[in-house]
Amino acid sequence: MKKVFISGCYDILHGGHIQFFKDARALGNHLTVCFASDKVLWEHKKRRSSLPQDHKLSLMTALDLVDQVVIGDCNELGLDFKEHFLKIQPDVLAVTEDDQYADAKRALCAQVGAKYVVLPKTPPQFTPVSTSSIVRKIRTRFDAPLRVDFGGGWLDVPRYARKGGFIVNCAISPTVSLTDWCYEKKSGLGGSGAWALLNGNDGVESELNLGVGWQDPAIIRETGLCVWRSGEKPVLHFKRNGDFLHGHMALHYTDLPHDTPGNADNDRDYDMIEAAGLLAKDAVLDASISKLGEAVSLSYQMQLKEGMRPLPEVDGCVGRKYAGGGWGGYAIYLFDNTKGRDAFVASAKCNRPIEPYITIR
């Protein structure tokens, strides 16, 4: 009998593990699988086990290609299986190409005369996954909000950040999902940040890699009405639930294309942007629609100065501006009362109501 030994965390058993088991089993005619105990997983990986030990043991024992299952409980880093290995004295220790403890394992093999075999990554018969990606998918939200910004936009782009500056934005409903996207796409509402979150990703780094700012994934993940400090990374200054905005916000779709990365390096008045952010911060602190309207209006004046097309004027509107980087997409309209907002929404199909959105974290 030629005995083969393999070890790993196998925290959530998936198809990639089974493929490795098959490849290892082909090296002999008896396969022992050792998985790390809950204690080892916590001490070495700093995470709790996703499945109880007895469930893992039951699952692996039920596999026809596995002859023996043991639980590794040794505290030696990378060698939690050591006691079982010395007792069983297998002929082969099979590992993957990314084995991080090769030297220690080779030395252990030498003690019992076992062969250390590195198995190449065989072409997958299915989409590759990992335990961490499975856990991330389980934790991923089904739906997510988009966002509107009121003042300070562009100060979240690291190269334009200003010490003492603020970015003020709000997560909005209705929410979106991978199968139900009720807004126009690529329209200035932070859709890329929501898409990243719905796919289990943070999104901050991907936005920064595009040469734009972090405000979209930051507010979509945080939710609520938020005031952020300008800088290279998102730092929340304070937030509130945004109740005072209920019944006061609407979107107008301009029917123009929106391209934030393409406009990131335009000449613009950053003094006006900073002033609008400071004004919006105070408005949120005071829960004042009129003050927030002033901040939005100042942001809009900067957008006009940059060269954007004027937006339609509306009775009862206390402030309007293009969402995000502007130059198309949606525009946010603030109203002093719900009646005015609803009349605006009813006036055209390109207008729609939105409300602040917050989740309990």
pLDDT tens readout for residues 213-238: 899 999 999 999 999 999 999 999 99
Q: Is 70 exceeded by the pLDDT of residue 126? A: no
Return the CATH number of 142-356, one of 3.30.230.120, 3.40.50.800, 1.10.3720.10, 3.40.50.10860.
Answer: 3.30.230.120
Segment 332-361, tens digit of pLDDT? 999 999 999 999 999 999 999 999 999 976
Segments of the chain assigned to CATH 3.40.50.620: 3-136
Per-residue pLDDT at 172 exceeds 70: yes
Region at 34 (left for phi over 0; alpha for psi -120 to 50; beta for the rest)? beta
- pLDDT over threshold 90, residue 30: yes
37/65 Cα distance (integer angstroms): 22
Start-to-end Cα distance in the chain: 55
Distance (Å, rounded) from C-alpha 226 to C-alpha 206?
21
The backbone torsions φ and ψ at residue 6, rounded to the nearest 5 degrees and listed phi first, read: -135, 155
Which residue(s) pair with 229 in the sheet?
A: 166, 235
- Which CATH superfamily groups domain 3-136? HUPs (3.40.50.620)
